A and B are shown apart, each in its own frame.
Chain A
């Protein structure tokens, strides 16, 4: 059974870049059946799709975040990563990584999530 685990700093200063990594076990980021995704949840709010990457490196991003987001994949480490630049307090959220089934177009496995707080 695939497992996903987020890691990275829990505190980021305003205007800096948020960086998170998702480590995948029990499955391969090189599988052609999945996109590898980032989703966030602001305190007390709903889910917001950030974007996803295919094993080939092809990416798709939420238009509202596109100018600040970069998602990359490292197949040798079975990991994928998120960078969000120029953060503000509005970017404070629990960040989840998730696996998105290419064919069923749904998120079928999720990481527990990691809280990132933007504060000086």
Chain B
């Protein structure tokens, strides 16, 4: 089954304790992205990747890191989490479409992170 998976689905941690949220897709998609969802703000892009070893900042990258060593995986790293990073996180992927077209993004199930 074609899907985007995220782990863990729920995580409660404390300020300053490094954590990684994994994202994996089995659709051979080039493009992957992380969003965070906050009440009243909708979803905002954190980082994206156009392909292996190619990553760039989205709208709210502060406090996050990403890596793209393999095509299928795009982990989100919080080196020193803070309470303002308490949020619902979604990973998404799509085929890379080029300048004049667009391909649908598929979303993972979400990771609910609480930083105390």
Are A and B subunits of one complex?
no
Q: Which residues of A contact B (CB under 8 A)?
A: none
Q: Which residues of B contact A (CB under 8 A)?
A: none
